[in-house]
Chain A
């Protein structure tokens, strides 16, 4: 009789991943222990003998690290593979499972980082920031509810799709249709981030040139606004991007450079927050 993992055990395994994927993180093993705890209920259900369990668990002691949200898909895929191995130990072995796992964690990490952490979260945060005007808690509550619902049900969906479809589920993500979807989502991400920058990052210059009678003949900020509103904000963002993407500077170094720029700007009167007690 073919062995089948019960729905209850799959759900337990998913919850173990949902909660514990990174709780015992170290630079050396990263998500390996989260993986072991998610596979344990499945292994215990599929194998009765202690040595079979030990043999199966040994597979998952290999190093694992990916983007944990989208990575639920990989855990689902291996749950399906473990079931196949329990039914046909000749067809699926430790190497098959670990080869697939190692092959998937890179692409899934790349897609997950840009799609979820780099696009989805900033878009929800951007909208939430818009709801926080004047110190309203609405934005934070909006983010908590929307993100957690999307993440929980999205991860659950990914896990069970992975279990049902195996590596076909991944083909969809990296395939041409998946790529088209990802590209269009990145358009939404780019536009919303642009709007967040323009709305929430005001950079203004205080530079005004006066003639001998004290009359202002050049108000730089006004001039810039008539060319392109928020010009300095755009300029500084491109500058930071250029330093990090083209000059490979670390974010901390860029921040330190901004401190220097701010100091020079204040000394020359280019920047003046205009605050007093």
Chain B
């Protein structure tokens, strides 16, 4: 499998749209096109192998299931994960002669994509820094009362940041990376220690993504209970995800009713004195 200049350019365009901060906007860009699952679909269509694209996207999505960027700090860059990592992973899967739906293909994709995604963090800081130039133009316009120019600053000029930090890196890395990845096959045999390690790392990596998510929802040890109930339903009872989601609804409902009953009881005993953040706002 090779990547042509045109294909690489198309991937570059999607990288511009999908980044955080990207030209597709947050909802459509970052949270839709930037998700590896959707990236897998797009890369599969562009490179003409939908199945491998989707499977690489699924594998990568597990690593980045929780791409939360609290306070604007990033540990990986979605444009690099989805539009450099996935295409190169697809090429690698083909070069190694793996079946697209096999566990080996998924693990290779995870290692490859995560490596590229981590390096891609540079692109995030590059874009955000170059945007300062346009913002400076924006401040000058605001001082002069020339407000219409804000639209150019917010929607137009950042395209230039993306030309430099999304389009060109994607174009070059996809085009040149493809031959490098193919050459890897000859350099590193699949049953050697480096490749075995690479595949094993791929299997372990999603644990980090899931742990990041747990960090968001677990504040006390008891918060692990829903996680392990879901885990057990799937691992021991072999239920699929939709079934687990439906079962979780009844627990959510019970908790909600319980909390509301507590509130009603509290409201009966006390007058409504529980708006503690209202006080803060009045000061």
Contact = CB atoms under 8 A, between A and B. Distances in A.
A24 B158 contact: yes
A52 B124 CA distance: 37
Contacts, number: 396
Nearest to B20: A22
B271 interface: no
Given A23-B154, A147-B32, A240-B211, A183 B58 contact: no
Contacts of B55: 132, 135
A11 to B, nearest CB: 16
A37 B28 CA distance: 18
A128 B231 contact: no
Given A176-B263, A258-B207, A130 B242 contact: yes
A44 B147 CA distance: 10
Contacts of A230: 231, 235
Contacts of B52: 135
Contacts of B51: 134-135
Contacts of B200: 262, 265-266, 271, 273
A227 to B, nearest CB: 11
Interface string A190-208: 1111111111111100000
Interface in A6-26: 18-26
Interface in B11-53: 20-23, 25-28, 30-32, 35, 37-38, 40-41, 44, 50-52
B54 A198 contact: no
A57 interface: yes
Contacts of B138: 24, 33, 36
Interface centre among A34, A117, A135, A254 (most CB of B within 10 A): A135
A43 B57 CA distance: 44
Contacts of A43: 147
Contacts of A196: 62, 65, 210, 234, 241
A174 B226 contact: no
A187 B251 contact: yes
Nearest to A199: B234
A215 interface: no
A64 B215 CA distance: 25
15 contacts: A23-B154, A24-B153, A69-B27, A113-B216, A141-B41, A176-B263, A177-B263, A191-B251, A192-B230, A192-B241, A193-B65, A233-B207, A255-B114, A255-B205, A263-B197
